[in-house]
Structure formats: structure tokens, C-alpha cells
């Protein structure tokens, strides 16, 4: 599981955090609050947070 924060400028993608950057909710809150200050809506920025959860399955391979 990880959190991705996407920043857009005037409705267009500006940048996003990497998968390994934010892996817990506390860090996510800290980064989000920092980004809200650094990238204010009044200057055309918008910020979206997505929680990504992955599920793995063990599979059995047979010979041949």
C-alpha cells in the first residue's frame, strides 16, 4: 500500500509522488499539508490524494 499525491496546475498534470515516497497515513498528511502551502489554489494548483492497495496471489506452476 502507498499513497500518491498528484499536483495539477490549471487543470493539467504538474507532478506526482513516487510509489516509494509515501507509505503511511501520517507521512501522507504531512506531505499533503506542505504541498497545500507550496502549491496554493489561488495560483491555479489542485492536489489529489489516492490510496493505492495492491493484492498479490500465490500461483502454482506445474512442470511442462
pTM assigned to the model: 0.82
Phi and psi at 15, nearest 5°, equal: -165, 170
Q: What is the pLDDT of residue 61?
A: 84
pLDDT band at 59 (very low <50, low <70, confident <90, very high): confident
Taking 90 as the threshold, does the pLDDT of residue 60 lie above it? no
How far, CA to CA in Å, does 15 sit from each of 4, 6, 46, 52, 56? Answer: 10, 6, 11, 17, 28
In this predicted structure, the answer to whether residue 1 has a pLDDT above a threshold of 80 is yes
Instruction: Tell me 22's DSSP state.
Output: -
Average pLDDT over residues 45-59: 92
User: So where are the chain's domains?
Assistant: 2-52
Amino acid at each position: 500500500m502507498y499513497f500518491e499525491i498528484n499536483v495539477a496546475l490549471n487543470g493539467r498534470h504538474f507532478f506526482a509522488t513516487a510509489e516509494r515516497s509515501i507509505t503511511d497515513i501520517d507521512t501522507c498528511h504531512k506531505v499533503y499539508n506542505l504541498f497545500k502551502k507550496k502549491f496554493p489554489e489561488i495560483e491555479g494548483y489542485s492536489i489529489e490524494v489516492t490510496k493505492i492497495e495492491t493484492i498479490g496471489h500465490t500461483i502454482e506452476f506445474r512442470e511442462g
